[in-house]
Amino acid sequence: MPVTITAHQLGRLIDRTISNMDGEFTAVLHGIRLEADAEWLYAVASDRYTVAAARYRHDGLEGEPFARTLPAGAVRALQEWTSAQPGHSPVTVTAEGGRVRVTAAHSDLGIAVDPSADFFDWRGVLRGVIEQTSVPGNVFPVLNTRLLERFGAAGPLVRVRATADQNAVLIAGQDFLGALMPVRVRGMDSDGLGTLDQTQAAWQDTLSTGGTATMPDNIPARQHRPRHEITKDLAETAGDLLKQTLRSTHDALASTTSDEAFAAYATASVTAWRAYRYLDALHTADPRLAATIVAETAEELDSGEISEFAWEAARKAGHDPAAWSQELEDRLANALTSAPGQPAQEAAVNTSEAGSTT
């Protein structure tokens, strides 16, 4: 009953749910539940106060669906194992009897499990949280901030829905669904904060001196990042590359000044598009590695030493950057001996070609 997924995806399933495991004194919840159906591989964990379910669409399931609970100790080992694999590397997860085996190209890990171990109906619990309706009135739930921290790895952005004082709070993100039970504290209403009206009354003296506003006019708007600073944000980097592609393509088609300008715009457009496609593929295979590379590249660009970095990278890759440099100088020298009106154009075109090649 093997299922195939990338090492990054399996690692993220563990990362997003490991904080929600219960302690050793609740054996049935002291671990992470792995379940596979015809479309998804799920990881589910709960400590009775929180529920976290993450999923990734797998690359194929052979045989019947399976469900096994990985013991907490093995979960830590699996987390370390996946982090040691290339993020894009295919990983096969097989559950047979009392053993779950994860296999990569050059490594595998076997985990002993109890195939008869019960697990709660997490689908029914989360369905109940989604389907609960808002209760009339202005009561709102009391949440334990320490339990909120357990959803820190759910994703950079999540949606939250609270329906009533004693109802679980729904937490939803991309391929992630969670629930957080409210705290039932005896005498909580005695602090005067049991309802929205009570909270408003408690703060009325402080807040009544100001008018209702979304943002005071005297607070400066967010400043744009200086043009000379390179973003370390992956999404912003991808957007910059697409913007550069579109602008350079437009400028190339609209250029009527010279062949040099057309060649420069065309080279910038092609280079930006290639960079975007490579970044998008890397993000699909291993988002964590993509974010790391974007941040490291931003620091390299800010250092102003990319020529030295490129020279060293070319040398380590087995190329001869000195020969490239000499070839470019020879082309420029030949351009100077060309017919009048041709040197600048030929030099620019050859420079563009040399740049696109390297």
> What pLDDT, on a 0 to 100 scale, did the predictor assign at position 217?
59
> What pLDDT, on a 0 to 100 scale, did the predictor assign at position 307?
84
> What pLDDT, on a 0 to 100 scale, did the predictor assign at position 282?
85
Residues contacting residue 328 through CB under 8 Å, at least 6 positions apart: 350, 351, 354
> What pLDDT, on a 0 to 100 scale, did the predictor assign at position 302?
83
Least confident of 65-74, 292-301, 337-346: 337-346
Q: Identify the residue with better confidence: 189 or 80.
A: 80
Q: What is the DSSP letter of 190?
A: G
Rounded CA gap, 207 and 137, in Å?
22
Dump pLDDT digits (tens) for 163-173.
Answer: 888 889 999 99
3-state helix, strand, coil in the chain (%, to 5): 45, 20, 35
In a domain, 142, yes or no: no
CATH number of the domain that 92 lies in?
A: 3.10.150.10
Mean pLDDT of the residues in the chain: 83
Q: Which structural domain, as residue segments, surrounds residue 61?
A: 3-112
Examine the pLDDT at 147 and tell me if it is beyond 90.
yes
- Segment 28-37 shows an average pLDDT of 94
| Residue 354 pLDDT level (bands cut at 50, 70, 90) | very low
- Segment 82-100 shows an average pLDDT of 90
Examine the pLDDT at 111 and tell me if it is beyond 90.
yes
In a domain, 124, yes or no: no
Look at phi and psi of residue 48 and say left if phi exceeds 0, alpha if psi is from -120 to 50, else beta.
Answer: left
- Segment 121-147 shows an average pLDDT of 87
Dump pLDDT digits (tens) for 259-270.
Answer: 777 888 888 889
Dump pLDDT digits (tens) for 72-86.
Answer: 999 999 999 998 988
In a domain, 120, yes or no: no
Rounded CA gap, 202 and 193, in Å?
8
Q: Provide the terminal-to-terminal Cα distance of the chain, rounded to the nearest Å.
A: 46
Q: Looking at mean pLDDT, say which of 170-179, 181-190, 204-213, 335-344 comes out highest.
A: 170-179
> What pLDDT, on a 0 to 100 scale, did the predictor assign at position 348?
43
> What pLDDT, on a 0 to 100 scale, did the predictor assign at position 352?
43
Torsion angle defined by CA atoms of residues 27, 29, 32 and 38, in that order, rounded to the nearest 10 degrees: 110
> What pLDDT, on a 0 to 100 scale, did the predictor assign at position 349?
46
Dump pLDDT digits (tens) for 276-298.
Answer: 999 888 887 777 788 888 888 88
Query: For residue 63, how many C-alpha atoms fall within 13 Å in the half-sphere facing its CB?
Result: 10
Q: Identify the residue with better confidence: 333 or 1.
A: 333
- Segment 1-30 shows an average pLDDT of 90
In a domain, 195, yes or no: no
Token code pair at residue 101: 């085996």
Last residue of a domain, one of 91, 112, 133: 112
In a domain, 199, yes or no: no
In a domain, 140, yes or no: no
Indicate if the alpha-carbon torsion angle 228, 232, 234, 235 is positive or negative: negative
In a domain, 285, yes or no: yes
> What pLDDT, on a 0 to 100 scale, did the predictor assign at position 71?
94
Examine the pLDDT at 350 and tell me if it is beyond 50.
no
> What pLDDT, on a 0 to 100 scale, did the predictor assign at position 285?
76
Bridge partners (DSSP) listed for residue 34: 43, 68
Torsion angle defined by CA atoms of residues 48, 51, 56 and 62, in that order, rounded to the nearest 10 degrees: 30
Ranges of H-type helices in the chain: 7-17, 72-83, 122-131, 145-148, 196-207, 234-254, 259-285, 287-303, 306-316, 321-336, 343-357
> What pLDDT, on a 0 to 100 scale, did the predictor assign at position 355?
44
- Segment 245-266 shows an average pLDDT of 79
Dump pLDDT digits (tens) for 35-59.
Answer: 999 999 999 999 999 999 999 998 8
Examine the pLDDT at 213 and tell me if it is beyond 70.
no
Last residue of a domain, one of 112, 146, 167: 112
In a domain, 98, yes or no: yes
> What pLDDT, on a 0 to 100 scale, did the predictor assign at position 357?
37
Task: Compute φ and ψ for 213, nearest 5 degrees.
Answer: -155, 155
> Is the distance from CB of 303 to CB of 261 less than 8 angstroms?
no
> What pLDDT, on a 0 to 100 scale, did the predictor assign at position 356?
42
Q: In total, how many domains does the chain have?
A: 2
Last residue of a domain, one of 112, 131, 159: 112
Task: Compute φ and ψ for 4, nearest 5 degrees.
Answer: -110, 135
